[in-house]
Amino acid sequence: MIKIAIYCRLSDEDKDKNNIFDESESIQNQKMLLTQYAIENKWEIFKIYSDDNYSGLDTNRPDFNQMIKDAQNRKFDMILCKHQSRFSRNMEVIEKYLHRKFPEWGIRFISITDHVDTLDKGNKKSRQINGLVNEWYCEDISEAIRATFKIKREEGKFIGSFAPYGYKKDPQDHNKLIIDEKADYIVKSIFNWYLEGYGTQNIANILNEKGISNPTKYKRDRGFKYKNSSQTDGYGLWNKTTIRRILKNEVYIGNMVQGKRKKINYKSKKIIQNPENKWIKVENKHEAIIQHEVFYAVQKIFENKVRKTKKGKIHLLAGKVRCMDCKSSMNKVRSSNGYEYLRCKLYARGSIKQLCTSHSIRLDVLEEIIFDKIKNYMENVNSKELVDRLNKEDIWVRNLYTLEKKVNDIGKLIMDKDHIIKNLYMDKVKQVINEKQFKELNSKFTKDKEQLIQRKDKIKEEISTIKNKMENRNYKEEVVKNYKNFKKLTRGMVNQFIDYIEIGEKNQEEKNQRVKVYWNF
């Protein structure tokens, strides 16, 4: 008696899909149909192999691979499927097994609804055509999904499976992010600690000591089936990489940045990084957790690459101090008498060649000078005048409304172009227009669409600039109020008030040293 293996497969690409073979492609339907077919032909069923929720392009299907292994070991004589696409939608796999390996192993392959039978040599071309059609189907589905996702990204809609830490998906609109009140305060603390001078590893240690779950464990604790491919342990501990990723993520200032990574193609699971100019960024799409000023102050620290101490904290002025003459950064050194000094980096590198002079200044002395300068600066700032200036600038609000209306109108025009391009393709398929006509018309409307997108992006940049100005002014006024009567200099204050500080060389005759502060506002 002929011994057979039954193979069934179903994936999301096939579910609820009407086709000419059957009204349902469910696993249960496949098993019933194939079992009945085997009984009618008096074949002995060795085993039923089944992979649910696996793509036909996936070569890592567990039951599929076990069946191939059993076939190689001649545990059965035949493989029976409902349709060739159930076995695979990958043309390379079809060629490898149906036309090479199975004949070598003495395995016959039959799929009943499309009349595939490897015993019939005249059936080979039909099998190959079926293989190509099945692969093209996957390619078309992949392209359609990519196009849909691209449109959603360009509209600033969130398309991820899980919201970034500190946010959650809006129950009324899963493409929109809203603040997660149970986690947003942690994000704020991370930014504040970093501005105060704590390093990324030190911040991770603080969170771990407090027993706060990292983003991966936090999602799992809330019942999400979240997997982190870079996870190193199951204890829910924070690390410096996670902290750094949060500190550099624009999502926390309300921007949606997507498309950072992509799959090589529809047949591969490998994901590669997209160049930054290919990222899709849409600004001000959801409520911000972090103020723009705070976020960009943090980015400045990253750019300056300040070093933390052994205790995990950098000094108050780290990354802010420059040599007045050569513009090099000033590095911290400790003298033999125990005092900490800042000196010119270029001088330290080439003191023999005398590329610059030391510009040395004691760190504690400089901190006192900066304390006095900020104190004096605060005393001369009139909060009421700042409020009055903001109130007079309501023209920004009117400009904002006009520009946002333009963006909305252009968005509708872009959707119209998309609709026309899709209809053109359908007209070509239905042979309403020929290939030449399709290419000409498609090129024209695609070019029109690209020009509209460029116009839209430029207007969005104008909107972003206006919003940043409005928000920054409000934020700066709030900073002024909070620090009007400060008693102690902090790293956060330095980052908020000072862009950078320049140190001149000491005047040996007059015994003084010039210190110039460049303010953020």
DSSP 245-311: HHHT-GGGGT-EEE-SEEES-TT---EEEPPGGG-EEE-S-S--SS-HHHHHHHHHHHHHTPPP-TT
Whether CATH 3.40.50.1390 fits 3-151 = yes
Instruction: Name the DSSP class of 97.
Output: I
Residue 1 has pLDDT above 60, yes or no: yes
Question: What is the torsion angle, in degrees rounded to the nearest 10, for the CA atoms of residue 320, residue 333, residue 516 and residue 327?
Answer: -70
Cα(478)–Cα(473) distance, integer angstroms: 9
Given a contact cutoff of 8 angstroms between Cβ atoms, the answer to whether 518 and 500 are in contact is: yes
Q: Mean pLDDT lowest for which of 116-125, 196-205, 260-269?
A: 260-269
Classify residue 22 as left (phi > 0), alpha (psi -120 to 50) or beta. beta
pLDDT in tens, 466-509: 777 666 656 556 666 666 677 888 887 787 778 889 999 988 77
Residue 397 has pLDDT above 50, yes or no: yes
Residue 383 has pLDDT above 70, yes or no: no
pLDDT in tens, 429-476: 777 778 887 787 788 788 888 888 888 888 888 788 777 766 665 655
pLDDT in tens, 120-150: 876 666 767 666 666 665 565 556 566 667 7
Cα(257)–Cα(248) distance, integer angstroms: 11
Q: Mean pLDDT lowest for which of 137-141, 165-169, 392-396?
A: 392-396
The 10 Å Cβ neighbour count of residue 482 is 11
Residue 40 has pLDDT above 60, yes or no: yes
53-57, 300-304, 391-395 — most confident range: 53-57
Tell me, what's the pLDDT at 14? Answer: 54
Instruction: Name the DSSP class of 21.
Output: S
Cα(345)–Cα(457) distance, integer angstroms: 41
β-strand 44-52 against 256-258: which pairing, if any?
unpaired
Cα(492)–Cα(200) distance, integer angstroms: 16
Residue 63 has pLDDT above 80, yes or no: yes
Span 308-324, mean pLDDT? 75
CA distances to 389, 393, 473, 495, 499 from 383, rounded to whole Å, are: 10, 16, 11, 20, 21
Tell me, what's the pLDDT at 17? Answer: 44
Rg (CA), the chain: 33
Q: What is the mean pLDDT of the chain?
A: 79
Tell me the two tokens of residue 380: 């001369």
Please, what is the angle between helix 292-304 and helix 184-195, to 10°?
Answer: 50
Tell me, what's the pLDDT at 133? Answer: 65
Residue 23 has pLDDT above 60, yes or no: no
Q: Mean pLDDT lowest for which of 108-117, 388-397, 498-507?
A: 388-397
Given a contact cutoff of 8 angstroms between Cβ atoms, the answer to whether 343 and 331 are in contact is: yes
Cα(116)–Cα(122) distance, integer angstroms: 10
Cα(223)–Cα(6) distance, integer angstroms: 36
β-strand 3-10 against 44-52: which pairing, if any?
parallel
Give the pLDDT band of residue 389 (cuts 50, 70, 90).
Answer: very low
CATH superfamily, with its number, for domain 155-290: Putative Large Serine Recombinase; Chain B, Domain 2 (3.90.1750.20)
Residue 158 has pLDDT above 80, yes or no: yes
Tell me the two tokens of residue 11: 């994936």
- Compute the Cα dihedral for 296, 302, 307, 309 and give only its sign: positive
Cα(176)–Cα(156) distance, integer angstroms: 9
Backbone angles phi, psi at 119, to 5 degrees: -70, -20
Between CA 184 and CA 192, with CA 186 as vertex, the angle to 5 degrees is 110
Q: Which long-range contacts (CB under 8 A, 24 or more apart) does 347-356 make?
A: 347/323, 355/326, 356/323, 356/325, 356/326, 356/328
Given a contact cutoff of 8 angstroms between Cβ atoms, the answer to whether 420 and 444 are in contact is: no
Cα(476)–Cα(482) distance, integer angstroms: 10
Residue 19 has pLDDT above 50, yes or no: no
pLDDT in tens, 398-423: 567 678 888 888 888 888 888 888 88
Give this prediction's pTM.
0.48
pLDDT in tens, 207-227: 998 888 898 888 888 876 555
Tell me, what's the pLDDT at 386? Answer: 47
Tell me, what's the pLDDT at 16? Answer: 43
